Amino acid sequence: MLMSGFPPPPEDRVTLHNWQDPPFNRWSFSHLRELVPAQPITNRGPIRFPVDDPAVDLDSQPVALADGSETSFANLLDRTYTDALVVISDGVIRYERYFGESRFDRTHLLMSVTKSLVGCVAGILADRGLLTPDSPLTTYIPELADSGYAGATVRDVLDMRSGIKFSEEYTDLDAEVRVMEEAFGWRPASHSEVPRSIYEYLPTLTNERDHGGIFDYRSAETLVLGWVCERAAGARMADLIGDLLWTPMGAQFPAEITCDSLGTAIHDGGMCATARDLARFGELLLHQGQLDGLEIVPTEWLKSSWRVDPDIREAFDRSAAGPYLPGGWYRNQFWFLPRRHGDVLLALGIYGQMLYVNPGTRTVAAKLSTWPDAQSPILLNETISAFDTVGAALAGLPADLHGGHHGTPGIASGRVL
């Protein structure tokens, strides 16, 4: 058993060398602060929606697999290496499951779902006049003036359309994403020249094309965006998320965000939270940034994200992600995908982290997982399809198991968002 005994036997130890690999990630994703430093994200206000409503048995609900066959929802959860799942329909938790190391009150690594929270922080700061998306990055971070980010705007990194040279190929040991993880302490440094902090690493990146072009998913973009937010607000990211999102939205539990050796938050993927509180964040997004009459995330910021823009769509279609998420787009650190009952907002992280928000079925699903591989288009699309089906069933709408992409981009619940 992993990390059992004191000390655990060598073959059962989870370390910086193996924590992202199976089977060790099933332990580490629920215990990350025991491996790397983390800063607390506080929840100082009252819990803002109930968590103890009657559940619905969805285990036997048929869902579709990528090969055209069907299975049960329960088997789909097992097939997609689920650690925790919360499904909300019409504001009520209807289904909740935990597996392995996960618990209702235990945080789990969100990986790149973190990006969407940082994007909302940027939206709040912009609404308060502290940040201007069209401004050059160097307005806030003059340290980037001699880097590949010179000439890029905040908008370019919000939508991941800078011209920076950065490979997100997780299996390539020399890819920039792997060196970046060494810089912020998620992996042991492979040599002495690896920078020892995030903000020391980012100015070393170079440019390979014009800014503002094709969408290209690169985690460095969110690290830069987080740096911009911290400079604009004069506060660290853990406090920004706590004060601007976690407390006002009524999180039930504190969260945390991992940081490098200098205390810089890992904005692109370091947040850890419970599945319940991730679902609460999804409810906030479902209600266009408002809860109990309080606007927490600017409604117009979310509407502009959800709204189809031809330029954004073309940039996505031409990207490597286009064939895997047809009809989709990426805006303000969110993914969007048209489905039968309307456009779905997604916050995604490697190894199977997902927040699914569907206004058309009034469904939110927060799923935390430990896939054996960082990326799997099959498991991703099977999970999205399953949530389409479950959400439709809970809403009393037609559940086309094999319907896939039926929606008209820009329309959800019969309205333009």
Cα–Cα dist 281/333, whole Å: 14
Q: Which residues are catalytic?
A: 112
The predicted pLDDT at position 408 comes to 40
Single-letter amino acid, residue 379: L
Does residue 85 carry a pLDDT above 90? yes
Burial of 142 (0-12, 13-18, 19+ CB in 10 A): exposed
Residue 42 near residue 246 (C-beta atoms within 8 A):
yes
Q: Please check the confidence at residue 31 and state whether its pLDDT lies above 80.
A: yes
Helices (H) and strands (E) in the chain, counts: 12, 17
Phi, psi dihedrals of residue 158, rounded to the nearest 5°? -60, -40
pLDDT band at 54 (very low <50, low <70, confident <90, very high): low
CA distances from 318 to 170, 207, 258, 321, 356 (A): 21, 19, 33, 8, 24
**pLDDT grade for 398, boundaries at 50, 70 and 90:** confident
- The average pLDDT across 68-86 equals 97
- Provide the pLDDT confidence category of residue 50 given band limits of 50, 70 and 90: low
In the predicted structure, residue 417 carries a pLDDT above the cut 50: no
To the nearest whole number, what is the mean pLDDT of the chain?
92
Q: Name the residue with tokens 């908008």.
A: 155
Answer yes or no: are the C-beta atoms of 344 and 337 closer than 8 Å.
yes
The predicted pLDDT at position 53 comes to 66
pLDDT at residue 410 greater than cutoff 50: no
- pLDDT at position 192 is 73
Tens of pLDDT, residues 313-366:
999 999 999 998 999 999 999 999 999 999 999 999 999 999 999 999 999 999
Rounded to an integer, the average pLDDT of 8-27 is 94
Alpha helix locations (H) across 87-217? 113-127, 154-158, 176-183, 198-201
3-state percent breakdown (helix, strand, coil) of the chain, nearest 5 = 30, 20, 50
| Structure token digits, residue 363 | 């469904």
Band (196; pLDDT cuts 50, 70, 90): confident
Task: List the Cα angle 176/162/299 in 5-degree steps.
Answer: 115
Query: CB neighbours of 10 closer than 8 A, spacing ≥ 6?
Result: none
More confident residue, 233 or 417: 233
- In angstroms, the CA 9 to CA 341 distance is 51
List Cα–Cα distances, 49 to 102, 275, 345, 366, 390, in angstroms. 22, 14, 21, 16, 21
Helices 113-127 and 220-233 cross at an angle (nearest 10°) of 30
pLDDT band per the 50, 70, 90 thresholds, residue 283? very high
Residue 47 CB coordination number (10 Å):
15
Measured CA angle at 287 (ends 286, 289), to 5 deg: 100
What is the pLDDT averaged over residues 379-386? 97
Cα separation, 299 vs 306, whole angstroms: 11
Determine the pLDDT at residue 123.
98
**Domains, the chain:** 22-112+236-407 (3.40.710.10), 121-227 (1.20.58.710)
Q: What is the pLDDT of residue 36?
A: 95
In sequence order, what are the residues at sequence separation of 6 or more whose Cβ sits closer than 8 angstroms to the Cβ of residue 135?
153, 154
Angle at 123 between CA 120 and CA 125, to 5 degrees: 110
Identify the helix (H) or strand (E) that includes residue 77: helix 73-79
pLDDT at 292: 87
- Type of residue found at 59: D
Q: Which helix (H) or strand (E) holds 87?
A: strand 82-89
The residue that leads in pLDDT, 408 or 357, is 357
Res. 402 pLDDT band, cuts 50 70 90: low
Beta bridge partners of 356: 346, 365
Residue 415 has pLDDT above 80, yes or no: no
Residue 405 has pLDDT above 60, yes or no: no
pLDDT at 173: 82
* Residue (of 333, 253, 362, 245) closest to 297 by Cα position: 245
Residue-wise pLDDT for 241-271, tens only, equals 999 999 999 999 999 999 999 999 999 999 9
